[in-house]
């Protein structure tokens, strides 16, 4: 980005890909604006340099073209409020509104056009051509949506091939931090993984096991591991087709599982709950959080760690009775960080949990804006949105 700012961007169109994919509640109120805040420095730097800034971003995964519930309108408004300067929302597929130097326009949800996410290169390319035509061939492209650089999509990948392209400050800083983890992290290096499905995390677990000292598993996915150890898991989430994979991963001797769990008789904040050892999960009950003894086990390992990466909540933290596992683990990481450890929180959900549970954001060394993107980076996958910039 600095290279671009060193050039004269006064009066030049700059197309920016940001990741503004934020959670909204049923009233379409933004519940966590971390990604919007993280996107502002690049947008502001370009606007202050006099560029005509046109932002491309997505919200959710719309499948049927434009739909109000996927509109970026609340995001444009929040972005404007946070910048204290209006951000106009422009319809997709229309000419841009008139813009002056320093103006910021946000294009409506880029995924309203199905060609954005098409697997067909020609379809995506045709859409990228239309996006480029909005701003002209002399425009520059800044890739700043780290959370989406693992997607080979028109606004991330194909546009970069067509314009003078740069990495934004957010992409650069995220890649630099995550390289610390894939390089030679200070030991012990522990990873904490949560979230619901083992199948989503299998690749990252396989990739991380050789380099970590311990991999702590909580969240819904721990029950498939517990089943692989021979425990009954009652009505907890279980991916039966992954039990053999879990057994094989457990052979590494590096996976640490909960010793107790909070079980409930319904998926509800007012369900009946009990804390039971992992040997004692009864039929009809599902585990919705790790228990206090597990928090102690995980906490003592984490407080002694020098490097830690955490992705995925330990339980259904959105409901108070099942939030303590996530809170306890996050607090242990904060304590480790205060004692000098290097800590990275990866992923939309875990970053949102940090903020929702009122933990100090500056208690961690880095909170990544990328969920899938940070995991794929740690897996050693080539991220198309980064590779395309390196090819330039």
Nearer to ligand 3PG, 18 or 242 (CB): 18
Among 1, 19, 215, 332, binds ligand 3PG (CB under 6 A): 19
Active-site residue (options: 218, 348, 371, 385) = 348
Residue 254 a catalytic site member: no
Is residue 59 part of an annotated ligand binding site? yes
Give the DSSP per-residue string, 218-263: -STTHHHHHHHTT---TTS---GGGHHHHHHHHTTS-EE--SEEEE
Taking residues 54 to 73 in sequence order and writing x for each that binds ligand 3PG by CB under 6 A, - otherwise, the string is -------x------------
Under 8 Å between Cβ of 367 and 353: no
Q: Which of 171, 108, 102, 112 is nearest to 134 (CA)?
A: 108
Segment contacting ligand 3PG (CB under 6 A): 66-74, 143-151, 219-227, 325-333?
A: 143-151
Closest residue to bound ligand 3PG by CB: 21
Kindly state whether residue 374 participates in binding ligand 3PG, applying the rule CB under 6 A: no
Residue 35 a catalytic site member: yes
Nearer to ligand 3PG, 13 or 70 (CB): 70
Residue 303 a catalytic site member: no
Is residue 61 part of an annotated ligand binding site? yes
Is residue 19 part of an annotated ligand binding site? yes
Kindly state whether residue 113 participates in binding ligand 3PG, applying the rule CB under 6 A: no
Nearer to ligand 3PG, 174 or 289 (CB): 174
Give the DSSP per-residue string, 259-324: SEEEEESSSSTTS-EEEEEGGGPPTT-EEEEE-HHHHHHHHHHHHT-SEEEEES-SS-TTSGGG-H
* Residue 321 structure tokens: 């009775």
Is residue 168 part of an annotated ligand binding site? no
Kindly state whether residue 258 participates in binding ligand 3PG, applying the rule CB under 6 A: no
Residue 88 a catalytic site member: no
Active-site residue (options: 37, 83, 162, 197) = 197
Element (H, E) at 122: helix 121-135
Is residue 201 part of an annotated ligand binding site? yes
Nearer to ligand 3PG, 324 or 349 (CB): 349
DSSP 8-state secondary structure symbol assigned to residue 95: P
Nearer to ligand 3PG, 154 or 281 (CB): 154
Under 8 Å between Cβ of 5 and 49: yes
> Rounded CA gap, 197 and 177, in Å?
26
Rg of the chain (C-alpha set): 22
> Which residues does the annotation mark as catalytic?
35, 197, 348, 372
Residues engaged in binding ligand 3PG (CB under 6 A): 19, 21, 61, 147-148, 151, 348, 371-372
């Amino acid at each position: 980005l600095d290279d671009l700012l060193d050039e004269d961007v006064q009066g030049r169109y700059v197309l920016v890909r940001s990741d503004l994919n934020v959670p909204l509640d049923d009233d379409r109120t933004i519940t966590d604006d971390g990604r919007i805040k993280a996107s502002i420095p690049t947008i502001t730097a370009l606007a202050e340099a006099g560029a005509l800034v046109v932002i491309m971003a997505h919200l959710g995964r719309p499948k049927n073209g434009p739909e109000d519930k996927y509109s970026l309108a609340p995001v444009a408004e929040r972005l404007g409020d946070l910048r204290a300067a209006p951000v106009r929302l422009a319809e997709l597929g229309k000419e841009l509104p008139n813009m002056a130097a320093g103006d910021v326009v946000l294009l409506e949800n880029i995924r309203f056009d199905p060609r954005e996410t098409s697997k067909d290169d020609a379809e995506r390319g045709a859409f990228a051509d239309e996006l480029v035509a909005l701003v002209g061939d002399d425009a520059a492209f800044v890739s700043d949506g780290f959370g989406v650089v693992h997607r080979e999509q028109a606004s991330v990948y194909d546009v970069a091939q067509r314009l003078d392209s740069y990495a934004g400050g957010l992409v650069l800083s995220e890649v630099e931090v995550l390289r610390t983890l894939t390089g030679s992290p200070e030991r012990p290096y522990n990873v904490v993984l949560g979230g619901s499905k083992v199948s989503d995390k299998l690749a990252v677990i396989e990739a991380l096991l050789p380099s970590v000292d311990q991999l702590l598993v909580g969240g819904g996915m721990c029950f498939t591991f517990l089943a692989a150890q021979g425990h009954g898991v009652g009505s907890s989430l279980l991916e039966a087709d992954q039990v053999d994979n879990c057994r094989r991963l457990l052979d590494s001797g590096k996976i640490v599982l909960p010793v107790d769990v909070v079980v409930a008789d319904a998926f509800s904040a007012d369900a009946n709950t009990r804390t039971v050892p992992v040997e004692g999960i009864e039929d009809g009950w599902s585990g919705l959080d790790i228990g206090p003894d597990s928090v102690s086990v995980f906490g003592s390992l984490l407080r002694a760690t020098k490097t830690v990466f955490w992705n995925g909540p330990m339980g259904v933290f959105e409901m108070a009775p099942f939030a303590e596992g996530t809170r306890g683990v996050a607090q242990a990481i904060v304590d480790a960080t205060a004692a000098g450890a290097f800590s990275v929180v990866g992923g939309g959900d875990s970053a949102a949990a940090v903020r929702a549970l009122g933990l100090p954001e500056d208690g961690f060394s880095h909170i990544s804006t990328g969920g899938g993107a940070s995991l794929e980076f740690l897996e050693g996958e080539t991220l198309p949105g980064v590779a395309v910039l390196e090819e330039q």
